[in-house]
Amino acid sequence: MGRLRSFFTPLHQRTSRDYLARMTDDKVGCMRVAKRYDADYWDGDRRFGYGGYRYDGRWAPVARAMIEAYGLTAASRVLDVGCGKAHLLHELRALLPGLTVCGLDVSAHALAGAPASVRADLRPHRAQDPLPFDDGQFDLALSLGCLHNLRLFELEAALAGIERVGRRKFVMVESYRDEQELFNLQCWALTCQAFFDTAEWVWLFERFGYTGDYEFIYFT
């Protein structure tokens, strides 16, 4: 299997979270709204998701780190499974003009709100459905903050697709290392289906034949 990375963790740690307030604020109702992945989730009230997913340049350091780690050039091809509003793809292309990118996401609202620089390269698609690409078609196939929203059998299918189409692979998922982080994750997560600690994730990656890199984010 690949390496444990830390591309996204510094960005994740910049946000403060009131875990108990979310848990006691009609959590079940908010989960039902969030799992529609529509305007409420992306740009509605914070209790339903992001609370306004507007771009402020924060993905640029992530893009630079990935370019360096994976040796990407303007001739490379990058796939983002669960791309959301595709801000990472936007930054990758800004740094590497001419880069071929493709973004997939279940949310029509997110895709419509993506930067104009990459909007034509995005398409609606569920991560767990077969990917319509050739084996090894992409130099890097990645998925950030998406796969933990799948059920176990869907997760296996999604990882198999990423493994098949990417020469290099990277996924980032939510996880926990102790009881406090598990509690915080359970309080905060609105869409998560896969609550696994780090050892369980690594076991699943190996069990499902995933050989790429990975990162865990924690709710401390």
What does the pLDDT look like over 155-201, one tens digit per residue? 999 999 999 999 999 999 999 999 999 999 999 999 999 999 999 99
Domain contains 1: no
Residue 95 has pLDDT above 90, yes or no: yes
What does the pLDDT look like over 20-37, one tens digit per residue? 999 999 999 999 999 999
Domain that holds residue 186: 9-217
Contact 166, 79 (CB under 8 A): yes
Domain contains 20: yes
Domain contains 4: no
Residues 98, 99, 104, CA angle at the centre, nearest 5°?
130
* Tokens read off for 36: 């529609």
Domain contains 48: yes
Q: What is the pTM of this model?
A: 0.96
Residue 91 has pLDDT above 90, yes or no: yes
Look at the alpha carbons of 94, 66, 214, 177 in this order and tell me if their dihedral is positive or negative: negative
* Contacts of 23 by beta carbon, 8 Å cutoff, 6+ apart: 186, 187
- Assign 3-state DSSP to the chain and report helix, strand, coil percentages, each to 5: 40, 15, 45
Residues 128-136, mean pLDDT to the nearest whole number: 98
The CATH number that applies at residue 190 is 3.40.50.150
Write down the pLDDT at residue 1.
86
